C-alpha cells in the first residue's frame, strides 16, 4: 500500500502550527490603569524557552514598540509614557517569541490582541485627599480638595488630574450626620467646596471622589476617599473616645491612686517605726 500523501498546503499548515505551538499564546491580556499609570498585563509568566514582545498602536496608526518590552521575561509592560495621545484608542499585540539572543527561522509568532483602551476615558482615578475646616461660629463647613497626581509629566512638571480633565473634572461629596445612615450628595466644579444647609454645631462625616460626567457611567466616578468627621460640641466622652481608650484611662487613674496610697502607707509606716526606735533609744528618765 502506498503511503498517503497530504496536499502541500496541509503539510505547510501543520508544520507552521507545530512551530507556532512551541510558544504558549498570551492569555488574559488586560489594561490596568490608574491616574494614567498604564500597564498591560497577561499570562502565563514566560519560561527560559520563550519571551514576550509587545506591539501597540492607536487605531489606524502605525505599530510601535517599547524598548523595555522586546523579548521580555516579564508578563507585563508599562506603556504610560508611550500612549501620548490621551484621547486615542489603543490596541496592543503580545507576541510569544524566542528568548533574547536566541535565533529562529520563524517569521511569524503567535500573538494575542488586547481590548481597546483610551487613557482619557478608561483610566481609573484614585481617591483624593481633602482638608476639613469648620468656621469658628460653626455656620460654615469647607472642604479643600487636593487633585490626585498622575504618572504624566510636562516640561518637568508632574501633572494632576485637573491639568488633564480641566473643567470636565468635578468632585462629588457624600455626607451624613455623625452616627446616622442617611446620606446626601453634593457636586462641585471647584476644589474649595462649601457645604450648604448643615445644622449648626452638629457633627457631620464627609467622603469625596472625582466625578467626570463626560465619561461612560461605569467610569464617571473615582475611588472614594477616607471619611473625615467634624467635631460635635455636644458629644459625650463615650462618643469622642472608644471604650478601650476610656477603660485604659480609668485603669491608669486607679493605678496612679493605688501608687499614691501605697507610697503614703509605706512612708507613714517607716516614719512610725523610726519614731518608735528613737523613743526606745532614749534613757528612761527622758521618756515621757
Furthest CA-CA distance within the chain: 146
146-158 residue pLDDT tens: 999 999 999 999 9
Of 80, 97, 122, the one marking the end of a domain is 122
Model pTM above 0.85:
no
Residue with the three cell numbers 498604564: 38
Report the number of distinct structural domains present in the chain. Answer: 2
Are residue 108 and residue 184 in the same domain, yes or no?
A: no
Of 186, 212, 233, the one marking the end of a domain is 233
57-89 residue pLDDT tens: 999 999 999 999 999 999 999 999 999 999 999
Task: Determine, yes or no, domain membership for 249.
Answer: no
Task: Determine, yes or no, domain membership for 12.
Answer: no
Show the domain range for 111.
27-122
220-229 residue pLDDT tens: 999 999 999 9
- Which are the contacts of 75, defined by CB distance < 8 A and separation ≥ 6? 26, 41, 42, 43, 44, 45, 46, 52
Percent of the chain scored above 90 by pLDDT?
61
Amino acid at each position: 500500500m502506498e503511503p498517503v500523501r497530504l496536499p502541500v498546503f496541509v503539510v505547510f499548515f501543520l508544520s507552521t502550527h507545530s512551530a507556532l505551538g512551541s510558544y504558549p499564546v498570551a492569555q488574559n491580556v488586560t489594561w490596568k490603569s490608574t491616574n494614567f499609570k498604564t500597564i498591560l498585563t497577561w499570562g502565563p509568566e514566560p519560561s527560559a524557552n520563550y519571551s514576550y514582545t509587545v506591539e501597540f498602536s492607536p487605531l489606524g496608526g502605525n505599530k510601535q514598540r517599547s524598548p523595555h518590552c522586546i523579548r521580555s521575561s516579564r508578563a507585563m509592560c508599562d506603556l504610560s509614557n508611550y500612549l501620548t495621545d490621551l484621547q486615542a484608542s489603543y490596541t496592543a499585540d503580545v507576541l510569544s517569541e524566542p528568548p533574547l539572543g536566541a535565533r529562529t527561522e520563524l517569521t511569524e509568532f503567535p500573538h494575542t490582541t488586547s481590548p481597546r483602551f483610551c487613557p482619557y476615558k478608561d483610566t481609573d482615578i484614585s481617591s483624593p485627599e481633602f482638608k476639613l475646616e469648620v468656621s469658628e461660629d460653626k455656620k460654615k463647613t469647607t472642604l479643600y480638595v487636593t487633585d490626585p497626581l498622575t504618572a504624566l509629566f510636562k516640561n518637568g512638571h508632574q501633572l494632576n488630574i485637573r491639568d488633564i480633565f480641566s473643567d470636565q473634572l468635578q468632585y462629588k461629596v457624600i455626607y451624613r450626620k455623625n452616627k446616622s445612615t442617611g446620606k446626601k450628595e453634593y457636586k462641585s466644579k471647584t476644589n474649595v467646596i462649601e457645604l450648604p444647609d448643615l445644622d449648626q454645631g452638629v457633627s457631620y462625616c464627609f467622603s469625596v471622589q472625582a466625578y467626570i460626567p463626560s465619561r461612560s457611567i461605569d467610569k464617571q466616578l473615582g475611588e472614594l476617599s477616607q471619611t473625615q468627621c467634624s467635631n460635635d460640641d455636644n458629644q459625650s466622652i463615650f462618643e469622642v473616645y472608644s471604650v478601650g481608650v476610656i477603660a485604659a484611662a480609668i485603669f491608669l487613674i486607679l493605678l496612679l491612686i493605688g501608687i499614691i496610697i501605697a507610697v503614703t502607707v509605706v512612708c507613714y509606716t517607716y516614719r512610725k517605726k523610726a519614731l518608735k526606735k528613737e523613743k526606745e533609744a532614749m534613757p528612761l528618765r527622758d521618756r515621757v
